[in-house]
Amino acid sequence: MPPQTENNFFPTNNLLQQKPSRKYTSLIILVILLILTGIFGVWYFSNPLPEEESNGSTLLTTSKFADWKTYKNEQHWFEFKYPKDHTVYSKIDTQKESLVPANLQSNKITIAENEKLIFCCEPVTLNLFIANENITSREWIDKNYTKYTNQKEIKSIKDIKFAETNATELIAGGNLGSTYRLLVISQNGYILIINQNSESEFLDKILSTFKFSDQTANWKIYSNEHYGFEVKYMPEHTIKIVDNETGLFIVSFVDNKNKIYYKISVTEKTKTPKLSNFISNPEFYKEIKTYNLNGINWAVSWYLGGEGDGQNPISAHTIVGNNVYEIRLDADSQKSSTERIEKILSTFKFNNQTINWKTYKSGSRNFEVKYPPNMTAREIFSKDLIVCFEDENHNFSNELNVCVYDHSSGLLFVPAQGRVKINNPYAHQEEKSIIGDYVIISKDYDLFDKIVSTFKVFKY
């Protein structure tokens, strides 16, 4: 019997069945981690995180538009950024095949995505131009959309906010010879139209940088210390002042043709009037709206007839103390005059709101304090109560009542009218010595702060 030989071709312990050693397993895992780390590093450094401003907000435009130029239009007060290798142009010189750059007063400007196509084909462009029409943006689109597209191509028409301004947007098909987007903004007596003829990420980036400039940035400032206000006016205007002894002050801002652009009058009244008194007669005044700008409440009314520098004067009234402040201008339409007065009101500020207040001086105590001219001072001297400032009707429960107490004993006596909420005056002052031993109470927080700011203690 021949000897049996062992089959070594297929060993009993097959390599596929053998478990890899821990050494090789650790090595494989390490290699995989290194590969993943490398991939993440390449991605991270090729996609840096956005920079941040010092206040913590994310700057999205710093890296995107850092090397872009800025076009500013000082005629219509808008600006936008564009790549430095592109041209914002107002005309095309076909003979020289060159672009005429737009200036600061251009009424029509264009920028193309690919400037090489301008002289041969139909380039993708963004076209901005001005229409001297005194209508709304929606009215302009209804009137002119057929020049840019047809009814079938229109996908949507809606009112939007563009560059923090009300606008109307039309989106269409963007076919050859047509338009993709119309942005229409109604401004002060004119219309700004932005026409984008095709969908384009390049043009979308440019539009994302569009903004309206501060139209009053280069205006001068007129300041009146006596009546405590300041307002801006155009640098080409001159000032004319009329100040008489009958309690009427007028300052006019006049253009180079000696025409009054607008004027401000201050009338001193013996009693505080109401804003409604100036717009209560429907035969002469039509109320447009009320504004609160820079903390000032204005009643704006449109004068419907009578004598004046123009046919449609518009007035804005506000009252501080017993003084009536009026800003008045003339324009050819209600819309244009409203837009102009809004611009003026946005620059008007009171720089001393207590300048016309009365002053109460204690005869037996060492303090003085100011209070509104429409209030009266009533000395009481009941226990710790010294003086109260009441409204003209002497209604003690009125919200505008303010009282001063002597708190030197450390105890505060609150009389029957104690529903007046007590505020800690020291919380409103950086220096306690300004209040000293006196406590002021009021139900009106705003009035309380103003009165506390005028409180003075005299040391002998």
Question: Mind giving me the DSSP string for 140-192?
Answer: HHHHHGGGT--TTT--EEEEEEETTEEEEEEE----TTS-SEEEEEE-SSSEE
Q: Do domains 63-212 and 220-350 have the same CATH topology?
A: yes
* DSSP bridge partners of 382: 385
Two tokens, residue 377: 């001072």
Per-residue pLDDT of 356-397, as tens digits, reads 678 888 766 777 888 887 788 877 665 566 777 777 655 544
Q: What is the pLDDT of residue 426?
A: 34
CATH number for the domain running over 63-212: 3.40.1000.10
Which one is predicted more confidently, 142 or 282? Answer: 142
Q: Give the number of other Cβ atoms within 10 Å of residue 435's Cβ.
A: 21
Residue 267 phi/psi, 5-degree rounding, is: -115, 125
- Give the mean pLDDT of 4-19: 43
pLDDT at 449 over 80: no
pLDDT band at 452 (very low <50, low <70, confident <90, very high): confident
pLDDT at 448 over 90: no
Pick the range with the lowest mean pLDDT from 20-24, 89-93, 222-226, 396-400.
Answer: 396-400
Which strands form 385-391's sheet, in the order they lie side by side? 375-382, 385-391, 402-406, 438-442
Two tokens, residue 269: 């009244």
Q: What is the pLDDT of residue 285?
A: 60
Q: Which of 253, 453, 238, 228 is CA-nearest to residue 318?
A: 228
Which one is predicted more confidently, 196 or 280? Answer: 196
Q: What is the pLDDT of residue 416?
A: 32
Residue 356 phi/psi, 5-degree rounding, is: -100, 10
Whole-angstrom Cα distance, residue 63 to residue 311?
53
pLDDT at 71 over 80: yes
Q: What is the pLDDT of residue 312?
A: 61
pTM above 0.75, yes or no: no
Pick the range with the lowest mean pLDDT from 246-255, 260-269, 324-333.
Answer: 324-333
Q: What is the pLDDT of residue 59?
A: 43
Please state the domain extents for the chain. Answer: 63-212, 220-350, 358-457
* DSSP bridge partners of 262: 253, 329
pLDDT at 322 over 80: no
Pick the range with the lowest mean pLDDT from 44-58, 211-225, 315-329.
Answer: 44-58
Whole-angstrom Cα distance, residue 149 to residue 141?
11
Which one is predicted more confidently, 274 or 409? Answer: 274
Two tokens, residue 323: 């003084």
Whole-angstrom Cα distance, residue 279 to residue 337?
17
DSSP state of 67: T
Per cent of the chain over pLDDT 70 is: 67
Maximum alpha-carbon separation in the chain: 148
């090789």: which residue's tokens?
24
SS3 content of the chain, % helix, strand, coil (to 5): 20, 35, 45
pLDDT band at 418 (very low <50, low <70, confident <90, very high): very low
- Give the mean pLDDT of 262-281: 71
Check if the beta carbon of residue 356 is closer than 8 Å to that of residue 369. Answer: no
Whole-angstrom Cα distance, residue 427 to residue 295?
23
pLDDT band at 200 (very low <50, low <70, confident <90, very high): very high
CATH number for the domain running over 220-350: 3.40.1000.10
